[in-house]
Amino acid sequence: MLETGIKAPDFTLPDQNGELRSLKDYQGKKVVLYFYPKDMTSGCSKQACRFAELYPQFKEKDAVILGVSKDSVASHKKFEEKFGLPFTILSDRDQEVIKAYDVLKEKTLYGKKHLGVVRSTYLIDEEGIIAKAFSNVKAQENPDQMLGEI
């Protein structure tokens, strides 16, 4: 995890529509930047759907939600359409941003070790500084937690 109080690493990634988005695009707004392992999986779907349910409240607080995974733009588009997600999902195919935010870690699945994305969320303030950082978050509780942090 990156430390709080430091400048958040900038990035440019394609969203679910293939449009390039940069962290700089959101200067002047609070940004909830959440990293998740995979589209369409149970935990990731619950987390995304809860963020979607709370989206109007995030918007009232002038906060933007950005989801990031290594899934493709096409996968993100299906994910958005299936669940009616009203926020931006970014595709980090080469995992550069995932690595920059230090959320790629060794995990164990069925006794085998592999590198994977640890479900993590950053709150970035209006000046682009990391205000809060949470690792190993619980998928369904994280959106409510982040709304409370803003």
Residue 11 near residue 22 (C-beta atoms within 8 A): yes
Residue that has been written with the tokens 């942090």 in this structure: 149
Whether 49 is a known active-site residue: answer no
HSE of 88 in the Cβ direction (CA atoms, 13 Å)?
23
> Of residues 13, 32, 44, 117, which has the active-site annotation?
44
CA dist 43 and 27 (Å) reads 30
Amino acid identity, position 71? D
- The two tokens of residue 18 are 């293939």
Four-point Cα dihedral 36, 37, 41, 47, nearest 10 = -10
Active site residues: 44
